[in-house]
């Protein structure tokens, strides 16, 4: 399959998880790249998981609200951690993925979920998975309406040219119009191991790897910013695939 970007230059950014400083650096890199290499149709795609675990979830959300209103075209996708916040607002007692019997039913406020760090960034202290309802009303009061609207309007996916951008992945055994919200936000296997031609190259986050994983049919760009790794930015233009760093573009070739 020949990749194309429908005459756009696309900047795709991996999982941020409250790492505001890294986000600001990536955005600065993008601005510098556009100054050096102007393009009439730049698009920036944020792949979800904006909150949790890191220290500045609120700051990240505020930044992305401003970015969404910028002159360039921006897509902001729903991640599983962003969904956890939505679930907590509706019912603080519901654990992560309650409808999956084989999945560990930890709560968003558990350290594995990282929600307590998000609440703390909004000034809500002492959030605890053992008594998740105790901070529920405080968080509702602390969350600005503009931020709530941000979470409620996140996209599930965006397709540009021969690329599909999604937080976690897709079900490789189902067409795009039969994918579920759970597929888009939680998928790992069998997607990660699939060698199938999906009809598009899937660009995703969700599953952290030390380096960007370009498998040809998919490109995983969650490189664990919140775990001490980089916040990766993939640049796609025509048939070109590269990573953007402070020193410029680095080719991102499919693994052989």
3-state secondary structure 119-143: HHHCCCCCCCCCCHHHHHHHHHHHC
pLDDT in tens, 120-167: 999 999 999 999 999 999 999 999 999 999 999 999 999 999 999 999
Contacts for 229 with CB less than 8 Å, ≥ 6 apart = 208, 210, 223
- Could you tell me the CA-to-CA distances from 183 to 97, 171, 177, 214, 225 in Å, in that order? 12, 6, 12, 20, 23
Backbone φ and ψ for 74, nearest 5 degrees, come out as -135, 135
Answer yes or no: is pLDDT of 255 > 90.
Answer: no
pLDDT band with cut points at 50, 70 and 90 for residue 100: low
pLDDT band with cut points at 50, 70 and 90 for residue 1: low
CA distance 215 to 204: 12
Note whether residue 23 is domain-resident.
yes
CA distance 226 to 230: 8
Backbone φ and ψ for 205, nearest 5 degrees, come out as -120, -135
Note whether residue 143 is domain-resident.
no
Note whether residue 165 is domain-resident.
yes
**Residue range 99-117: mean pLDDT, rounded:** 78
Note whether residue 16 is domain-resident.
yes
Report the domain count for the chain: 1
pLDDT in tens, 5-63: 999 999 999 999 999 999 999 999 999 999 999 999 999 999 999 999 999 999 999 99
Omega prior to 190 cis, within 30 of 0: yes
pLDDT on residue 105: 65
Note whether residue 220 is domain-resident.
yes
* CA-based end-to-end distance of the chain: 16
Answer yes or no: is pLDDT of 251 > 50.
Answer: yes
Domain that holds residue 13: 9-79+153-251
Note whether residue 3 is domain-resident.
no
Answer yes or no: is pLDDT of 2 > 80.
Answer: no
Task: DSSP letter for 34, please.
Answer: H
Both structure tokens of 219: 């490109």
Q: Of the candidates 60, 74, 69, 63, which has an alpha carbon nearest to the alpha carbon of residue 15?
A: 60
Contacts for 73 with CB less than 8 Å, ≥ 6 apart = 8, 41, 42, 43, 44
Note whether residue 120 is domain-resident.
no
Note whether residue 116 is domain-resident.
no
pLDDT in tens, 203-245: 999 999 999 999 999 999 999 999 999 999 999 999 999 999 9
- Given a contact cutoff of 8 angstroms between Cβ atoms, the answer to whether 129 and 106 are in contact is yes
Query: What CATH number did the domain enclosing 192 receive?
Result: 3.60.21.10
């Amino acid at each position: 399959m020949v990749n194309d970007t429908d005459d756009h230059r696309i900047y795709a950014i991996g999982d941020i998880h409250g790492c505001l400083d890294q986000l600001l650096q990536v955005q600065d890199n993008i601005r510098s790249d556009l100054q050096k290499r102007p393009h009439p149709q730049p698009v920036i795609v944020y792949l979800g998981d904006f909150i949790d675990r890191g220290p500045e979830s609120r700051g990240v959300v505020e930044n992305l609200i401003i970015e969404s209103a910028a002159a360039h075209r921006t897509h902001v996708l729903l991640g599983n951690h962003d969904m956890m916040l939505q679930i907590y607002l509706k019912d603080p007692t519901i654990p992560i993925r309650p409808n999956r019997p084989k999945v560990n039913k930890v709560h968003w406020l558990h350290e594995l979920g990282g929600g307590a760090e998000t609440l703390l960034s909004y000034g809500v202290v002492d959030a605890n998975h053992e008594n998740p309802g105790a901070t529920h009303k405080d968080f509702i009061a602390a969350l600005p309406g503009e931020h709530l609207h941000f979470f409620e309007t996140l996209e599930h996916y965006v397709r540009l040219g021969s690329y599909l951008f999604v937080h976690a992945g897709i079900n490789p055994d189902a067409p795009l119009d039969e994918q579920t919200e759970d597929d888009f936000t939680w998928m790992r296997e069998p997607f990660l191991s699939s060698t199938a031609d999906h009809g598009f190259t899937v660009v995703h986050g969700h599953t952290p790897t030390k380096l960007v994983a370009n498998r040809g049919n998919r490109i995983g760009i969650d490189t664990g910013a919140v775990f001490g790794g980089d916040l990766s930015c993939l640049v796609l233009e025509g048939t070109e695939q590269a990573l953007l760093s402070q020193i410029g573009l680095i080719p991102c070739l499919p693994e052989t």
